[in-house]
Amino acid sequence: MQPPDRERLRSYLGLLGLHRGDGVAAYDAAAEVYDGFARIWDDRIAAPALAHFNALVAQHMKPGANVLDAGAGTGERTRVLLRHGATAHVVALDGSQAMLALASGKLRDPRVAFVRGDVTRLPFPDNSFDLVASTWVVETLDDPRSAVREFVRVIKPEGIAIYAFCSLPEGRGGALLKRVIELAAPDSGPLSVLLPELERPFHQCEHSSLRQFFGGLTTVAVVAKCCVIEPAHLPCKLP
């Protein structure tokens, strides 16, 4: 018997909250069931953030783009990136070999290369990619900003990095998260009224932005080469 979606969501959020030191082993162990958890999260809570994320990817994808999917997991986001006709090549990077094995089995596409690696120490030279895309990764790290700095390092001077993360909203966070999970449904209209979207610049430049959904439960950030990833900006602050 499958556990109720509410319990599966709680389990998934617990997985997302693991520190990097334990995270690789946890994701290796959870690889076979990961898609089931992630689908509920993506469809019922993260849908507005992912719609915004996908629109940004479409906007910034250039013809012949080389793309890094940082923290590719089982390849579901990589599949979305490949749908853009402009994509020339996608590197799907993840720390979990089990996740990458599932992804490579699903995505038999010559445009994809699967690489095991650490998002806080990307194994690529500076200025390697036109676009870095990442979802639900930085919040699982001991030092989220180290990953974002790496995203900025490996994008080309005219490149862009787009990443989504989740965190407990400040203040009423725990109670609010519990309520969001209890109310989660494909039609999230009432939650959108209670917790409207908020957008502000990430950095004082024309390229960057931070858009929050559900009171900060999910956030989509855009950073460019000029963005300085320092504590003052707090792009990934977790309570």
- pLDDT tens digit string along 46-59? 899 999 999 999 99
Using an 8 Å Cβ cutoff, are 54 and 81 in contact?
A: no
CATH number of 125's domain: 3.40.50.150
User: Can you give the pTM of this predicted structure?
Assistant: 0.80
Whole-number pLDDT of residue 202? 56
> For strand 209-213 and strand 218-224, is the pairing parallel, antiparallel, or unpaired?
antiparallel
Helix (H), strand (E) at residue 145: helix 144-154
pLDDT value at residue 217: 79
87-94 β-sheet, strand order:
112-116, 87-94, 65-70, 129-135, 155-166, 218-224, 209-213, 198-200
Q: What is the mean pLDDT of each run of 10 residues along the chain (239 residues)?
A: 59 58 67 75 87 94 94 92 88 92 91 95 97 91 87 95 79 55 48 43 68 83 82 43
- According to the model, what pLDDT value does residue 187 have? 44
Residue 192, pLDDT score: 40
pLDDT at residue 43, as a whole number? 84
CA 14 to chain centre: 16
> Is 17 exposed, middle or buried, given 0-12, 13-18 or 19+ CB atoms closer than 10 A?
middle
Query: What's the CA gap between 105 and 110, in Å, rounded?
Result: 13
Domain count, the chain: 1
41 lies in which domain range? 1-239
